[in-house]
Each structure stands twice: as structure tokens, then as C-alpha cells.
């Protein structure tokens, strides 16, 4: 008896609609309102969505301005103090304090930028300009940005065949954001005197795969999906990777690659480093 009741309750709503009957959220049947009412509801939903998108854009503009502007002042003036541009500060301790303020300001600015970026991507508020991009130039740009950090950590960036890297269809800024997040993440998790290897090749379906492999502690394969969720990191009881930041880099890469008709996958095993593989359409 219960099986029959279940079958009746799950009768397809589209078949009921075709017979002039609609089903509400409680499963009750009511006469169909017709195409005009359906169109009105769809139009109302579209207007609500457009209004929400406008609110998201306004919020992102506000956050971007109200947080970045004072942070830039903190970063700029602390750098001036730390460099003693206008004369000695007196006690050497003051100079160290100014350096700490400067470094903390840079970290906070990076976090603000990541939060704004992931909010834009999750809200589908993007302004990507996808075009043919030379991958070797993008990799070189990011390597230059990371040079000082690599030297401080004693990590080498290895690109066996930079000149032969194929081009991709991607947004210029988005491509560099992807590479920067992945390469910086790999450097942060590599041991001193370790190496991060960057490679790219054409694969089936007209795609180009970019792989970035580190020599860190790695992550258990079962735990890899957690790394693609915002504010998750490798660390704690079940994950062995430990690092800085709040866990937004990989989720941003995942959302950006999908927005550019690509994909991200991670390969790792505990104790054997991590490889991030980004697939983007080839140019």
C-alpha cells in the first residue's frame, strides 16, 4: 500500500502540467495558470536576479574601495618609515616595528583581494576578456614576481621547456592569477632546497594542460576535495600539508578555470608532494 502511495506522489510534474494541472510545493494539484502567468513569474525572477547582481557589484565596489584605500596608506607609509627615507627613527626597534606593520599590511591586502575575487566568481560577477595568450610570457611574469620569495625560502622554480609552451585561450589577468596562486602555493609548501616544476603540453580535445608540482609533504588522496573548498587547508588531524593563508587560493583557481571553460584537478599522496593540473582551451 505504501509503495502505491509513493508512486502516486512522485507522478511527474511536467506530465501534470501538460494536462492543465500544476503541483504546488506541498504536492497539491491546482489548475494551470497558463503561459501568461508563467511568463510573468519568469520575468519577476529575472528582475530579482538582476537586482541581486547589482547589489553584489555595489558591495564589491564598496569593499574594494573602503578596505584597500586605507590599507594602501598603511603599506605605503610603513615602507617609508622602515626605509628611514626622511631620517633615522631613533631606536632600531622602531624600524623593525615598521617592517612588521608593512608585512602585515601586505598580507591583509592579499586576503582582501582574495575575498573580493572569490565573491565575484561565486556571484558570477566577472569581466573576463578571453583571448589567445602566450603561456610562456605569463609563466615568466609570475616567476619574476616570486623571485624574492623563492630566494628567501631556498626554493627553485624549474621550467624545463619554457619557450615551447603552447598558447591558451584565457583572460590575461585571470591566467596570471591562476599561475600565481598555484606557483606561490607550491613554493610555500616546498622544503628548503626543494624545487617546483612547471610544465605544459597539448592534450586531446584541443586543450592545454599546465602542471605545477611541488616536493612538499603531500595530501592523502581522499582529502584532496577539501582543498577546493573556501577556507580549507591541508593541515589538522587528517591533512598533512601546512601553510600560510586562509585557504582561498585553490578555490579561486578552480572557479577561474571553470569560468574560462577549463578545469582543475589535484594529484597527491602523503609524503610525495602535490601536483596541480589546469586544463584550458589551446589557442
Mean pLDDT throughout 26-47? 71
pLDDT interval class at 231 (50, 70, 90): low
SS3 category, 273: coil
Tens digits of residue pLDDT in 121-139: 776 656 788 999 999 999 9
The confidence score (pLDDT) of residue 7 equals 36
Residue 272, Cβ neighbours under 10 Å: how many? Answer: 14
The confidence score (pLDDT) of residue 22 equals 46
Tens digits of residue pLDDT in 193-205: 889 999 999 998 9
The confidence score (pLDDT) of residue 283 equals 83
For 230, phi and psi rounded to 5 degrees? Answer: -55, 140
DSSP for residue 215: -
For the chain, the residue count is: 283
Q: Give 162: exposed, middle or buried? Use CB within 10 Å, 0-12, 13-18, 19+.
A: middle
- Higher per-residue confidence, 11 vs 174: 174
CATH code given to domain 130-281: 3.30.565.10
Structural domain boundaries of the chain? Answer: 2-32, 36-122, 130-281
pLDDT interval class at 5 (50, 70, 90): very low
The confidence score (pLDDT) of residue 232 equals 61
The confidence score (pLDDT) of residue 124 equals 66
Q: Indicate whether this model's pTM tops 0.85.
A: no
Amino acid at each position: 500500500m505504501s509503495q502505491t502511495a509513493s508512486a502516486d506522489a512522485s507522478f511527474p510534474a511536467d506530465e501534470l502540467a501538460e494536462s492543465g494541472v500544476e503541483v504546488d510545493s506541498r504536492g497539491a494539484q491546482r489548475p494551470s495558470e497558463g503561459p501568461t502567468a508563467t511568463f510573468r513569474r519568469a520575468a519577476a525572477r529575472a528582475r530579482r536576479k538582476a537586482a541581486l547582481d547589482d547589489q553584489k557589484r555595489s558591495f564589491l565596489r564598496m569593499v574594494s574601495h573602503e578596505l584597500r584605500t586605507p590599507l594602501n596608506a598603511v603599506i605605503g607609509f610603513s615602507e617609508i618609515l622602515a626605509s628611514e627615507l626622511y631620517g633615522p627613527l631613533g631606536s632600531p626597534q622602531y624600524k623593525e616595528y615598521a617592517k612588521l606593520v608593512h608585512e602585515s599590511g601586505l598580507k591583509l591586502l592579499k586576503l582582501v583581494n582574495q575575498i573580493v575575487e572569490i565573491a565575484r566568481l561565486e556571484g558570477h560577477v566577472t569581466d573576463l576578456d578571453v583571448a589567445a595568450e602566450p603561456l610562456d610570457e605569463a609563466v615568466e611574469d609570475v616567476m619574476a614576481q616570486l623571485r624574492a620569495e623563492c630566494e628567501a625560502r631556498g626554493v627553485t622554480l624549474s621550467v624545463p621547456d619554457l619557450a615551447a609552451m603552447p598558447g591558451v585561450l584565457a583572460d590575461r589577468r585571470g591566467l596570471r592569477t591562476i599561475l600565481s596562486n598555484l606557483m606561490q602555493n607550491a613554493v610555500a609548501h616546498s622544503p628548503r632546497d626543494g624545487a617546483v616544476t612547471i610544465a605544459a603540453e597539448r592534450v586531446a580535445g584541443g586543450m592545454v594542460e599546465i602542471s605545477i608540482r611541488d616536493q612538499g609533504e603531500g595530501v592523502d588522496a581522499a582529502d584532496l576535495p577539501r582543498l577546493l573548498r573556501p577556507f580549507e587547508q591541508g593541515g589538522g588531524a587528517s591533512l598533512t600539508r601546512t601553510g600560510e593563508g586562509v585557504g582561498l587560493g585553490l578555490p579561486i583557481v578552480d572557479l577561474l578555470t571553470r569560468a574560462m571553460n577549463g578545469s582543475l584537478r589535484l594529484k597527491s599522496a602523503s609524503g610525495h608532494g602535490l601536483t596541480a593540473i589546469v586544463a584550458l582551451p589551446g589557442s
